[in-house]
Structures are given as structure tokens and as C-alpha cells.
């Protein structure tokens, strides 16, 4: 069995620290416990509350966040806590027991149009994934049981997951008016069944864990880091609201060309690709004070 690795990540709150696993720990549910009695459905949280400095335990997706009392500093105890969590998980013990799943609120899914007429966004009332994933074929979707099942539908061309929504790109064989209800119910029933959306080891295999992303970021040059920061803060939230995503691919300091990858609703629509490319290019020129920058937008 593949062992789980825990990495430590600071947060903006000095009393809270995140311990991130390289696989999913819960079935896409989030839990918060303020004391050991509240944590009766989480053996791991109960064990953590035996540490005298633990004030709150948050468990969500692939991480555990802990809030401490002021009797210690995280620098003094974080390595020991990380080892304890890692050992607990690798012993095969449950993080959260099934009773919590039975008490979850009903799943609702609503469909939302996007600027790309071939893409519809299906929004859930719960978090589905910890980070974005795009699958453009059945073979590509082997790390996502839900995407694999969606590809069995004859009109599904690609699937994009992000946080609480799924963007589906259809082929020309069907109109949205004919298939929207079917897709919405299919997705809702799948999520309610509690089956995996993304396989537990997918973040590690696809280099999507927070520690892997941070390590990759540190390898970039300073200009590339600035570009990534601008994309994350100013562009991604806007394209996510339209059912898409944008990822930095490269920056060539000689030609001053920035290459980005468009995913979900942003991909495959010539007019939206052109508009988005020009918008990003103008923003980068303005914010980086470099009028010679150009942007190449690639479909994912």
C-alpha cells in the first residue's frame, strides 16, 4: 500500500497551521470540531484533542488544519504533530466514520450558462475537489471515476472540475435543451452516492498537492512568479465564475512571450479565447510595466 506523506503549511492566522496529505482524507466533506465530545465521529480528531494545546480541528479534502492555544508556538511542536498524523493515517485508521456521511445535507445541483456555448457549468452546494482537474478523454479520466462515467454519455467531450462546480463540454450531436436535466440528475445522484469524484492518490500522481505546487513555483524566475501571482489574484476568480480556469505554462525572457493554458469553458471557444488572451496581455503589460510582453493562449 502506498504510504501517505504529510507536509506542513503556514496560514495567514499564526495560531492555525495546515497539515496537508498527498491524497484525499475525506469523501469531499468538511468538518470542524471544537472539543473532544464534538469529535466522536472522528477518531483522528479525538486523538489530536489529547494534545493539550489543540483548540480546534478542521478536516477537509486532503488537509487537517489545527488551531492552537497560546501555551505553545507551532515551530516547537509542528514536526511532532505531522509525524503523529502521518503515522495514524498510514496505520489505516479512519479519519472520519460513516455516521457523518449519513447526516450530510441533501445535494443540490444547478446548471449555469457560460460564455462558451458548448460548455455548461453544474454548480453544487458543497465542495467537490480540493483543486482543479481537466479531462479531455476517457483514458485521460482514469483518475476520476465521475469523469469516467460522464464520458460514457455519448455527448460528453470534456470534463473540468474546480472547487464546487463541474464544467461539461458537449459535442454537436445534442443540444443543451435536450440533455441538461439528464446531466444535472446524473451528477447529483453520483455525488449523493458518496462514490469517489477523484481517486485518493490523484493529487500526488498528477502533481496537484499543495507542496508540489509550491515546490514548482519556487523553481521559476522572478518574472514568472510575478505573472503567476497576477493570474492567481486577478484572472482566475473571473474565469472560474464563467466555468473555466487558466494555468501558467511558461515565460520566455528572450521573446517576452507568456504561454497560458485555458481549461473548462475558456477552452475551445475562439471568441472567448481571443478576448481573454487580449485582456491578460493588456493586464500583464500594465502591471509589469513592459509593453513588449505578448500572451499565447493554449487550449487545455
267 pLDDT more than 90: no
183 pLDDT more than 70: yes
Q: What's the whole-model pTM score?
A: 0.71
129-151: per-residue pLDDT in tens?
A: 888 899 999 998 999 999 999 99
3-state secondary structure string, the chain? CCCCCEEEEECCCCCEEEEEECCCCCCCCEEEECCCCHHHHCHHHHHHHCCCCEEEEEEECCEEEEEECCCCCHHHHHHHHHHHHHHHHHCCCCCCCCHHHHCCCCCCEEEEECCCCCEEEEEECCCCCCCCEEECCCCHHHHCHHHHHHCCCCCEEEEEEECCEEEEEECCCCCHHHHHHHHHHHHHHHHHHCCCCCCCCHHHHCCCCHHHHHHHHHCCCHHHHHHHHHHHHHHHHHHHHCCEEEEEEEEECCCCEEEEEEEECCCCCHHHHHHHHHHHHHHHHHHHCCCCCEEEEEEC
101 pLDDT more than 50: no
190-206: per-residue pLDDT in tens?
A: 998 888 899 888 887 77
104 confidence band (pLDDT: 50, 70, 90): low
| pLDDT on residue 89 | 92
Amino acid at each position: 500500500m502506498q504510504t501517505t506523506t504529510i507536509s506542513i503549511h503556514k496560514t495567514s492566522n499564526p495560531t492555525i497551521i495546515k497539515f496537508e496529505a498527498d491524497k484525499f482524507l475525506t469523501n469531499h466533506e468538511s468538518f470542524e470540531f471544537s472539543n473532544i465530545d464534538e469529535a466522536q465521529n472522528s477518531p483522528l480528531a479525538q486523538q489530536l484533542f489529547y494534545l493539550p494545546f489543540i483548540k480546534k480541528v478542521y478536516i477537509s479534502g486532503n488537509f487537517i488544519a489545527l488551531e492552537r492555544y497560546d501555551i505553545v508556538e507551532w515551530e516547537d511542536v509542528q514536526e511532532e504533530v505531522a509525524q503523529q498524523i502521518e503515522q495514524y493515517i498510514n496505520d489505516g485508521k479512519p479519519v472520519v466514520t460513516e455516521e457523518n456521511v449519513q447526516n450530510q445535507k441533501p445535494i443540490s445541483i444547478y446548471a449555469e450558462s457560460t460564455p462558451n456555448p458548448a460548455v455548461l457549468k453544474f454548480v453544487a452546494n458543497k465542495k467537490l475537489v480540493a483543486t482543479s482537474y481537466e479531462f479531455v478523454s476517457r483514458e485521460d479520466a482514469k483518475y476520476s471515476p465521475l469523469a469516467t462515467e460522464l464520458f460514457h454519455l455519448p455527448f460528453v467531450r470534456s470534463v473540468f472540475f474546480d472547487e464546487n462546480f463541474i464544467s461539461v463540454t458537449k459535442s454537436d450531436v445534442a443540444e443543451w435543451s435536450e440533455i441538461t436535466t439528464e446531466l444535472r440528475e446524473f451528477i447529483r445522484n453520483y455525488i449523493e452516492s458518496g462514490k469517489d469524484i477523484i481517486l485518493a492518490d490523484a493529487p500526488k500522481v498528477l502533481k496537484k498537492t499543495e507542496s508540489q505546487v509550491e515546490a514548482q513555483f519556487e523553481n521559476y524566475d522572478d518574472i514568472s512568479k510575478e505573472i503567476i501571482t497576477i493570474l492567481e489574484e486577478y484572472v482566475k476568480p473571473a474565469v472560474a465564475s464563467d466555468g473555466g480556469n487558466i494555468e501558467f505554462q511558461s515565460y520566455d525572457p528572450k521573446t517576452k512571450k507568456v504561454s497560458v493554458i485555458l481549461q473548462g469553458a475558456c477552452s475551445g471557444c475562439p471568441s472567448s479565447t481571443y478576448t481573454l488572451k487580449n485582456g491578460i496581455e493588456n493586464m500583464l503589460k500594465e502591471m509589469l510595466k513592459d509593453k513588449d510582453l505578448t500572451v499565447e493562449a493554449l487550449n487545455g
